[in-house]
A and B are shown apart, each in its own frame.
Chain A
Amino acid sequence: MKHALHWSLHHRLTLLALVLIASLAAVLATTRISIAEGGIAFPYYPAFLKVEMKAEGAQPMPENWQDPQICAGCHPRQYKGWSTSMHSISFKDPVFQAEWALAHKATDGKTLNHCGGCHTPIGVATGTVKFDPSLGKHGGFTAAPIAEKGVSCDVCHTISGTTAVHTSTGNPGNASFVMSPGRVKRATLKDSKSPFHDTEYSELHTKSAFCANCHNIFHPDNRFPVEHTFDEWKASPYAQNGIQCQDCHMVPVDTAIRVADEMKPAKDLADHGLGGFAGMGAKNKRDIVHDHGFVGGNTVIAEALGVKGASENKAEALKRLQNAAELDFEIVPAKGGANMLKVKVTNKRAGHHLPTSLTFIRQIWLEVHITDDQGNELLNSGVAKNNHVPSDAVTFINRSVDKDGKPTINPWEIANFDHLNTIPPKGFRYGVYAFHLPPAAKGFKVQAKLHYQSYAQGVADKLLGEGKLTVPTVVMKELTRDYSAADMKTALSTTAKMAAR
């Protein structure tokens, strides 16, 4: 009897819970406000973005954010840098727009705020982002003019905090920041004063934790970390040495190289030469004035869009790519002439993996040629055909799969990586090749090139249409070495002796 009562109560409670869940879901569906884990309301879920308006009850409007042209008046240097950066085209980038459109159609619009939260925070905040199926190959998006300027001055400089601890993974990412638009501009100077705006010091702006809120992306449903640049940095020697994203990506490339070589934050480098005035009419020279070009590895889009000054940004990006990695060879001879070539690829100067972010569509691969002194080609691998990376190439990317383990590169379908091969900061990976040395050969030459594409040609073809964009291939590093057959024999006997011991 007691038992029966207990069961019935249990059933009733379950029923009550189900009713509550159903009604909650109905409320959420009608108010479009979603509640993530932890009971915090996120009005733009699945973006973890929040907006704090100064006036109580005010709705965010496009005019609450200032046009970069306004900022340019006193900060022409920062404006110029930003206007050539990926941040300035984070919304307009046609590759992104097409990917976003495909995601939008595949997920019934669920990715509008998920992608928009970082690519057009103002567009999401003001609700002005609209899908237009007539744009591009797959459809595209429009937004209020200020929102189309992407990650503009007033996006970052009105950020007053993060919502990182309240995200569904408890980590920063998926636009986990708070914007407080208004006269107060926040940045890294403690005593700055402007004749135009109010100023506030923000510790957050000095840290990688600031950038983390967009440079870490997890799948909204399955929570799989699709992009994890911040996490990669956090586990790296750079983080351990207090080097922040800003120390490499907000300084000229030559400084970034020194940061990685000396493993010190930019401000601690001797004679870093980064001093100057933060704005026109400023009286105090600052120890560091940060670049706002946010140069990384993208050499494609700004120039393709005809952005003014894009070539300078591209030159910087090329130099970064060309200084990021190092190559070395190791040859392990074997009896019978089956030799092993190990190409060692070291991530020498990137504070995140090589490549990072969309590790499943970026391409870093080895092209290797071995020829003997008679002119015979003993091996070739990784020779691109029609700008496509061949399947025999050793690539340093991650392979993404869906929930059933089937390969996919559609970010909205990714549930796992089943093969990890990106190169961690200061770490290395090998490309391993076997080759036979003909008996007549007196020597041979090994040539290796490390190539980079921001995305695979197939991705560009799919998103923009065939023939629309040839993805540039950047040679990050190349190495050529000559070996004599005699060296191999000596090496072989040394190996044999060592083995015998």
Chain B
Amino acid sequence: MAAMLSMSAGFAEEWLPLPANSPVPDDNPQTATRIELGKQLFFDPRFSSTGTVSCNSCHNLMSGGDDSRATSIGVHGLAGPRNAPTVWNAAFHSVQFWDGRAASLEEQAKGPVVAQVEMGMRSLDDAISRVRRIPGYVDQFRQIFGGDNPVSVDNAARAVAAFERTLITPGSAYDRYVMGDKTAMSEQQQRGMKRFNALGCTGCHRPPAFTGPWLPGGFFVTFPFHDSPYVAKYKLRDDMGREAVTGKPEDRHKYRVPTLRNVALTAPYFHNGGVATLNEAVQVMAASQLGIKLDTGESADIVAFLNTLTGPFPEIALPRLPPTPGESVIPVN
């Protein structure tokens, strides 16, 4: 049961709690073996060119699901242009990456492996041929997927995506509050929640995941929309956003709306990771998207509310990775 709060303005008339499960596509069912295989692949650095970078390197599940850096460091110390989005609750996004260039978690999982500044493999075939040399993986792929070619790029992506669909955090203070536990949020946090809605933040960051509404092709918004001194200060318009994917001028500076679940744990902020603190991020959003300036009390209320969207995180034990006794799949030089 979602709590209904009366609001003078704003979209969120219904404050929904995060569901206990994330949406699952028909062609990739959530089986225990798939999830376990995906978990191993997620933590395995052997599918990066140097054997140093795994998914978890930039999407650290022992923390906020990101790497606490402005932009991530990949193989050979190379840095990409964008901030690593959290993998927690990524399953609730209708499209993946800042610019929405992947339509699903399955599609997304293939990207970083061959990004030269991330995991740096020459091709997905190179990556999958390393998997094929690890008997413990081959057995699992066979059992799970069967068929003539069980160890495939697509199946690896399916396994990783299945694991990622378990990385969700229902039961936060906000969730408990809207399910009826009125002690779960402080007065300031409740005030922040009303403000968050009344100002219009919920127009894009919608409950329950506080991301954009689920649209098959993705929900994209211009950022920054209004001019403000922050644009120059934080170089907010240096990145062309989705235009770089579609080539359409109308997609300039358009981004997928990121989830605000666990946002308190994912500093620094925005596509370029240019803003160091959550309070400043709230001010930047107010100026850039709403064309307003918040006073100190207002932004503090909103930050207090955003903190209610943190966790809880499921226990995750690091998996044993299938070995290749007597040799390594990483080339010696």
Contact = CB atoms under 8 A, between A and B. Distances in A.
Contacts of A67: 213
A60 B175 CA distance: 39
A70 interface: yes
B226 A283 contact: yes
Interface size class of A (residues with CB under 8 A): 10 to 19
A63 B216 CA distance: 8
B2 to A, nearest CB: 14
A193 B253 CA distance: 14
A117 B34 CA distance: 48
A281 B225 contact: yes
A384 to B, nearest CB: 39
A76 interface: yes
Interface string B188-218: 0000000000011011101000000101110
Given A70-B215, A73-B203, A280-B290, A196 B220 contact: yes
B219 A70 contact: yes
Contacts of B250: 183, 198
Nearest to A79: B11
Interface string B264-299: 000000000000000000000000011100000000
Contacts of B223: 195
B282 to A, nearest CB: 14
Interface string A162-192: 0000000000000000000001000000000
B221 interface: yes
Contacts of A280: 9-11, 199-200, 203, 290
Contact of B10 (A76, A282, A283): A76
Contacts of B215: 70
A156 to B, nearest CB: 20
A348 interface: no
A130 to B, nearest CB: 22
B222 interface: yes
Contact of B11 (A63, A72, A193): A72
Contacts of A74: 11, 200, 203
Q: Is the interface of A mostly helix, strand, loop or mixed?
A: loop
A281 B213 contact: no
Contacts of B9: 76-77, 280
Interface string A267-291: 0000000000000111100000000
B291 A195 contact: no
Given A73-B203, A280-B203, A195 B10 contact: no
A493 interface: no
A283 B288 CA distance: 11
A281 B216 CA distance: 25
A74 B202 CA distance: 9
B13 to A, nearest CB: 8
A222 interface: no
A70 B217 CA distance: 13
Interface size class of B (residues with CB under 8 A): 20 to 34
Contacts of B216: 63
A331 B37 CA distance: 94
Interface string A44-77: 0000000000000000000100010110111011
A462 B200 CA distance: 47
B290 A195 contact: no
Contacts of A77: 9
B129 to A, nearest CB: 39
A196 B225 CA distance: 10
Q: Which of A67, A183, A196 has the most CB of B within 10 A?
A: A196
B22 to A, nearest CB: 20
Contacts of B199: 280
Given A195-B221, A281-B225, A73 B289 contact: no
A195 B225 contact: yes
Nearest to B202: A73
Interface in B219-277: 219-223, 225-226, 250
B236 to A, nearest CB: 13
A289 to B, nearest CB: 13
Contacts of B217: 63
A76 B225 contact: no
Nearest to B10: A76
A62 to B, nearest CB: 10
Contacts of A282: 291
B227 to A, nearest CB: 10
Contacts of B221: 195-196
Interface in A195-218: 195-196, 198
A193 B204 CA distance: 16
Contacts of B225: 193, 195, 281
B96 to A, nearest CB: 19
A76 B197 CA distance: 11
Given A195-B222, A280-B290, A70 B213 contact: yes
A281 B222 contact: no
Nearest to B9: A76
Contacts of B213: 67, 69-70, 73
A413 to B, nearest CB: 44
Interface string A70-88: 1011101101000000000
A73 B215 CA distance: 13
A431 to B, nearest CB: 46
Nearest to B204: A73
A292 B244 CA distance: 37
A371 to B, nearest CB: 49
Given A70-B213, A73-B11, A183-B250, A195 B219 contact: no
B215 to A, nearest CB: 7
Contacts of A70: 213, 215, 219
A78 to B, nearest CB: 12
A67 B221 CA distance: 17
B179 to A, nearest CB: 21
Interface of B: 9-11, 199-200, 202-204, 206, 213, 215-217, 219-223, 225-226, 250, 289-291
8 contacts: A73-B203, A73-B206, A74-B203, A79-B11, A195-B222, A280-B11, A280-B200, A281-B291
